[in-house]
Amino acid sequence: MIKNAAFRVDFKSVFVLTFILFSSLISAQGKDKSARNFWENVQFGGGIGLSVGSGYTDISLAPSAIYNFNQYFATGVGLQGSFIKVRSNDQYEGYKSYIYGGSVIGLFTPIEEIQLSAELEELRVNQEFVDVDYSRNFWNTALYVGLGYRTDNVTIGLRYNVLYNKNDFVYSEAFMPFIRVYF
């Protein structure tokens, strides 16, 4: 009877350890599957810009990523950085500007070809007016609502900054065209 009791204790220990091990493996496989499903729903994109002209330079980089909850809704984040330099001429004072920040975007696609968007953008703006030895540093908040035509991974449209202030010297207009590409 003592051998039986020892066997039962050892069998119970092995059973409990085996149960815990398999439970962990099953749980880990579930986590791998959900992690894999998460990354299958993520798309990366953004924009790169370069504009060079007579006395004007504008360089920008804006990477972003979105998570598609389903075929209708997506949300994401983005970063933005740009450098603008304008040389003095008869019409403009010379200035340099460094702009950097981030954004949060929500996308709604009611039908495959139409995409509605809302984007909150927060930018730090550092401006230096060369000719008058004046600098200005401030935060600029923009809230965009947009409408675009979508085909595959590309959306072309127009967005409107509802918080637009012409005195901020960040954007020249409240309306902005956009091209959004996600892979």
Q: Give yes or no: residues 85 and 124 share one domain.
A: yes
d(CA 164, CA 125): 15
d(CA 183, CA 68): 12
Could you tell me the sign of the dihedral formed by the alpha carbons of 105, 148, 50, 128, in that order?
negative
Range of the domain at 106: 43-181
What pLDDT, on the 0 to 100 scale, is given for residue 159?
Answer: 96
Q: Give yes or no: residues 90 and 131 share one domain.
A: yes
Q: Give yes or no: residues 19 and 103 share one domain.
A: no
What pLDDT digit, counting tens, does each position of 3-48 carry?
Answer: 444 444 454 554 554 455 444 444 444 555 666 789 999 999 988 8
Give Cα 163 to chain centroid, integer Å. Answer: 20
Q: Give yes or no: residues 68 and 28 share one domain.
A: no
Q: Give yes or no: residues 34 and 56 share one domain.
A: no
The one-letter amino acid code at 84 reads: I
- Residue 177 binned pLDDT confidence (cut-offs 50, 70, 90): very high
Q: Give yes or no: residues 129 and 90 share one domain.
A: yes
Q: Give yes or no: residues 16 and 60 share one domain.
A: no
Question: Looking at the 3D structure of the chain, how many domains does it have?
Answer: 2
Q: Give yes or no: residues 105 and 171 share one domain.
A: yes
Q: Give yes or no: residues 158 and 176 share one domain.
A: yes
What pLDDT, on the 0 to 100 scale, is given for residue 49?
Answer: 87
Residue 101: strand pairing partners? 80, 123
What pLDDT digit, counting tens, does each position of 113-145 carry?
Answer: 999 999 999 999 999 988 788 899 999 999 999
Q: Give yes or no: residues 125 and 160 share one domain.
A: yes
Mean pLDDT across 88-114: 91
